[in-house]
């Protein structure tokens, strides 16, 4: 079936109250300056949920839903005021309340057509076209597309500029928006407020000369597959990955290490060489620093670390040990030093080291981004929690995106590899022992 999406309305949503004059210039922090100029693209799918009281949302009328979404979005932008502004220069945002794009669309299929057998390329139908290219031309910092299905379900596509937001900030924005929508009929709903202190502790540099580690675009054809690791399989995988050095691997460590191992084996088989491999991952450092940032700190409070292996015989538990060691090392390095002028020195050095490794053609690189433990499945705008939340992968070299499953105990992985590597990867017996290939979201 050919999916056709019709845009039926486009509006500019502005903050419900003007940003005070003294807040009109928002400083980026040093870590914001390192981020690529791409959008973080999330899609939340909502079914026509019969458990919601029809008197609360009569017949799920599109006009009623859209009115609630736009009103609460406007209120949320007044709290997250930098997102409604425009980039001023390489160190600041002009918080001029210019607004964000809000699109409404209809699609010629049922939601079950998408959720029964999800494909990555389908997700782009539910996102504004402006963000699909590697270097988006739009000056907006947030774009939203609400798409209505024939069955009464809907999809909310949210795209936030990576210049201002990491995964935690994006999830906080969506959570605050959902709470604002619920608050229109329940006065006891607490709405989250962002905290804007990042630039005061990790100031930007006007003369910015740090080169962010380059994650090369894939050469040739890439293939994306979806795998789901259910809770019982993760428990078995953690037991298999355990060792005396890491007796209790985390869910993310166990799943990441298995995917990494299978990707290494596939790459080495195709290249017919024992090429070293490096896993690069982003990590939220809000609570890792001394003193810690609050959980609601706004911005890109993340660091990148790389774990390497040169083993000729790849052992799962050794990959877990290497991951844990590199995470702890980066936390130790950043914990007390990411402050003021010293932040620039340490970030420059770390990124230089990582950049040299990523630029090498003699190292197999794979990039992980984990969205797990972010409360996206709690985003209830007034008609129930989402049936499925997912992220459209960005056009980086070999990206692996990890998301929680709806029950919070499993992990969903979007895995992108070269066509040649994927042909071997998807038949790996150890992978298929613990992961299910693209199961229905509806089961």
Q: Which residues are catalytic?
A: 162, 380
- CA-based nearest residue to 383, from 40, 56, 19: 56
Longest dimension (CA), the chain: 65
Contact (Cβ atoms closer than 8 angstroms) between residue 82 and residue 405: no
Question: What are the beta bridge partners of residue 284?
Answer: 302
Distance CA 34, CA 221 (A): 28
- CA-based nearest residue to 165, from 94, 80, 90, 91: 80
- In eight-state DSSP terms, residue 408 is S
Q: What are phi and psi of 283, to 5 degrees?
A: -135, 130
Helix (H) or strand (E) segment spanning residue 110: none
- Locate tokens 């709690």: which residue? 378
The gap from C-alpha 49 to its chain's centroid, in whole angstroms, comes to 26
Q: Which distant-in-sequence residues (6+ apart) come within 8 Å of 73 by Cβ?
A: 13, 100, 102, 144, 177, 180
Contact (Cβ atoms closer than 8 angstroms) between residue 68 and residue 181: yes
- CA-based nearest residue to 180, from 379, 384, 390: 379
Query: Which conformational region is residue 272 in: left (phi greater than 0), alpha (psi within -120 to 50 degrees), or beta?
Result: left
Q: What are phi and psi of 112, to 5 degrees?
A: -65, -25
């Amino acid at each position: 079936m050919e999916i056709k999406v019709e845009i039926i309305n486009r509006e500019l949503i502005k903050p419900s109250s003007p940003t005070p004059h003294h807040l009109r210039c928002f400083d980026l922090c040093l870590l914001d300056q390192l981020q690529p100029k791409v959008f973080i693209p999330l899609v939340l799918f909502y079914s026509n949920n019969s458990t919601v009281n029809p008197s609360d949302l009569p017949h799920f009328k599109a006009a009623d839903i859209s009115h609630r979404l736009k009103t609460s979005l406007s209120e949320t932008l007044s709290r997250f005021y930098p997102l409604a502004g425009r980039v001023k220069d390489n160190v600041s945002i002009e918080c001029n309340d210019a607004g964000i794009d809000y699109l409404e669309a209809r699609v010629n299929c049922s939601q079950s057509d998408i959720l029964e057998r999800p494909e990555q390329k389908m997700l782009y139908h539910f996102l504004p076209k402006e963000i699909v290219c590697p270097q988006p031309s739009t000056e907006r910092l947030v774009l939203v597309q609400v798409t209505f299905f024939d069955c009464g379900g809907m999809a909310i596509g949210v795209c936030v500029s990576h210049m201002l937001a990491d995964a935690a900030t994006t999830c906080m924005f969506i959570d605050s928006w959902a709470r604002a929508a619920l608050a229109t009929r329940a006065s006891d709903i607490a709405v989250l407020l962002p905290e804007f202190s990042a630039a005061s502790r990790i100031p930007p540099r006007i003369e910015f000369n740090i080169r962010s580690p380059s994650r090369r675009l894939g050469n040739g054809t890439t293939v994306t597959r979806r795998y789901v690791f259910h809770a019982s399989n993760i428990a078995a995988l953690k037991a298999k990955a355990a060792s005396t050095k890491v007796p209790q691997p985390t869910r993310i460590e166990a799943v990441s290490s298995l995917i990494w191992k299978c990707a290494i084996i596939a790459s080495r088989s195709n290249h017919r060489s024992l090429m070293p491999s490096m896993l690069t991952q982003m990590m939220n450092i809000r609570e890792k620093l001394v003193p810690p940032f609050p959980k609601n700190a706004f911005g890109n409070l993340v660091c990148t670390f790389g774990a390497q292996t040169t083993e000729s015989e790849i052992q799962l538990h050794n990959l877990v040990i290497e991951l844990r060691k590199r995470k702890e090392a980066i936390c130790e390095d950043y914990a007390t030093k990411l402050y003021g002028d010293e932040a620039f020195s340490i970030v420059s050095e770390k990124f230089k080291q990582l950049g040299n490794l990523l630029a090498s053609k003699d190292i197999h690189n794979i990039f992980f981004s984990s969205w797990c433990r972010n409360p996206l499945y709690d985003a209830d705008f007034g008609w129930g929690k989402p049936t499925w939340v997912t992220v459209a992968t960005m056009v980086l070299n070999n990206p692996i995106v990890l998301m929680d499953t709806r029950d919070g105990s499993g992990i969903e992985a979007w895995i992108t590899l070269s066509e040649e590597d994927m042909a071997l990867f998807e038949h790996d017996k150890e992978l298929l022992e613990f992961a299910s290939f693209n199961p229905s979201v509806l089961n």
